[in-house]
Chains A and B, each alone.
Chain A
């Protein structure tokens, strides 16, 4: 490399200087793009914090909403949100993992069944959430009514394509030698999956879970029709419950004088997503360590 570029540099110093300048500009442009992104994120968080922090207090987190949410807190809404997300993950994670494993390990790459399933997953991932809401309402409404369970199942349908596609990508990225090695050792396929393949694909699985968590906690349209509007503390999974995103939408768009509470709720929502992501990160770390030993 060095022998090749050195003679050129001495022969054409002007061209090199231009190339250096171009490199420098390119470098600057890329850095600027990255910093702009960070600045946008922090501007957003700062604005949210400035607007909402005054309304935020321990009381806000642990009391029931009053006067349509203008006063009081968001305790039942937090509980409903957590229940919805947990139901969605509890249903979608095993189903998604199993499907991804089937796609990668048990079918021929590019076979008609796998191709068909991949195509329908991509279509499903692009379906607007309001359509999931209507489908969930029609599918789960008749036997579950407006309930956390109906909402959680609808969310599970929504995040399934995300989970499957990222788990699939993760499994694909595992070195085929590892599979051969496991087979050579006489490991059963399930054992190889549990101890080698899935832990190796864990970072991709985690990315899918985080995306799914983000989409699930941000959802409003699909939940209005399934888990509903009630802002009281849910007593069971068959009770209607309002999610944080629905509460924020209601307060800022439908309830005059609800802006402060909406900003504070938005701040809580951002914090909640952060906490859930960190929890997912820790859980996956512990899981990988238990399966593979410290790296």
Chain B
């Protein structure tokens, strides 16, 4: 009478556990593990689902955690591919990168902000705290809230690199993580300026979110311009691996870079390559 409940619980759990007693590493030809960038993860997850449906029995596991994590996992061979949302640096030449898509990075301000363009020098002055009021760059008298991305985010590295700023020189009021968070921060603050993925910003602006993309070096910040290769700040979204992929990994890579997934790439507001 008393021991029936625990027994029942064990009885229910046992078959679940026994379903795959050897764990994740069994059947290497049927399973792939990927980890890394939170920007790339949703896209790869959708590609993986389609690939699974075309290849019954195959399981593609996608885990997030950031580009740095993807690089480390790929290097140590813990995953088939790491997901990295930027180009590899010279010191990462031990890895191979395969580009799935591109993503442009644009400056956004609140829609009510009358400033229509900023020069590179003005952006530098704003982000280093030399200019603290919109009046100094042709806007209304209103303090500027500088929205910056967190250390280790590849968007942040790319932004600093483009404007030639050392990370220590930036004086941010707000530090954010993902793109959607950046868009929400700027939409909620008429004095804010930030930089986010162009595709997401274009989509949100289209939905009526009160943000506006600023042109960069005279080029409008649109997905179309990124696709044409004219927009100055853009980054590749990569799968990286330590060794040349074989077998299932090679088949998945080929599929993920084929035109068959271009609709999925566009659905995530990225640019197919």
| A contact residues vs B (CB 8 Å cutoff) | 67-68, 90, 143-147, 149, 224-225, 228-232, 235-238, 240, 250, 252-258
Report Cα–Cα, A149/B24, bound state, in Å: 13
Assess the A67–B63 pair: CB atoms within 8 A: no
Closest CB in chain A relative to B165 CB, distance in Å: 25
Closest CB in chain A relative to B37 CB, distance in Å: 10
- Chain B interface residue count, Cβ-Cβ cutoff 8 angstroms: 37
Report Cα–Cα, A231/B9, bound state, in Å: 26
Q: A68-B46, A238-B17 are in contact. Are A230 and B38 (CB under 8 A)?
A: no
Assess the B64–A237 pair: CB atoms within 8 A: no
Assess the B207–A257 pair: CB atoms within 8 A: yes
Assess the B180–A252 pair: CB atoms within 8 A: yes
Assess the A238–B65 pair: CB atoms within 8 A: no
Closest CB in chain B relative to A35 CB, distance in Å: 29
- Secondary structure at the A interface, as helix, strand, loop or mixed, is loop
Q: A236-B20, A255-B42, A256-B183 are in contact. Are A146 and B269 (CB under 8 A)?
A: no
Report Cα–Cα, A232/B39, bound state, in Å: 19
Assess the A67–B267 pair: CB atoms within 8 A: yes
Q: Which of B19, B39, B42, B62 contacts A230 (CB 8 A)?
A: B62
| B contact residues vs A (CB 8 Å cutoff) | 9, 13, 16-17, 19-20, 23-25, 33, 38-39, 41-43, 45-46, 49, 61-65, 177-181, 183, 199-200, 203-204, 207, 267-269
Assess the A232–B41 pair: CB atoms within 8 A: no
Query: Which A-B residue pairs are the 8 nearest by beta carbons?
Result: A236-B19, A256-B200, A68-B42, A145-B24, A254-B178, A253-B178, A237-B16, A229-B64
Closest CB in chain A relative to B48 CB, distance in Å: 9
Closest CB in chain B relative to A71 CB, distance in Å: 10
- Report chain B residues within 8 Å CB of A232: 49
Given contacts A228-B61, A238-B19, 14 further A-B contacts (CB under 8 A): A67-B46, A68-B42, A68-B45, A224-B65, A236-B16, A236-B20, A237-B16, A252-B180, A253-B180, A253-B181, A256-B179, A256-B180, A257-B207, A258-B180
Task: With a 10 A CB-CB cut-off, give which of B16, B20, B179, B203 has the most chain A CB atoms.
Answer: B16
Who on chain B is nearest to A194 by CB? B2
Assess the B179–A254 pair: CB atoms within 8 A: yes
Assess the B45–A231 pair: CB atoms within 8 A: yes
- Report chain B residues within 8 Å CB of A253: 177-178, 180-181
Task: With a 10 A CB-CB cut-off, give which of B41, B42, B183 has the most chain A CB atoms.
Answer: B42
Assess the B45–A229 pair: CB atoms within 8 A: yes
- Report chain A residues within 8 Å CB of B46: 67-68
- Report chain A residues within 8 Å CB of B200: 256
Who on chain A is nearest to B17 by CB? A237
- Report chain A residues within 8 Å CB of B25: 145
- Report chain A residues within 8 Å CB of B179: 254, 256
Closest CB in chain B relative to A137 CB, distance in Å: 9
- Report chain B residues within 8 Å CB of A258: 180
Task: With a 10 A CB-CB cut-off, give which of B24, B41, B46, B203 has the most chain A CB atoms.
Answer: B24
Closest CB in chain A relative to B54 CB, distance in Å: 15
Who on chain A is nearest to B22 by CB? A238
Assess the A229–B178 pair: CB atoms within 8 A: no
- Report chain B residues within 8 Å CB of A252: 180
- Report chain B residues within 8 Å CB of A254: 38-39, 41-42, 178-180
- Report chain B residues within 8 Å CB of A145: 23-25, 33
Closest CB in chain B relative to A196 CB, distance in Å: 16
- Report chain B residues within 8 Å CB of A231: 45
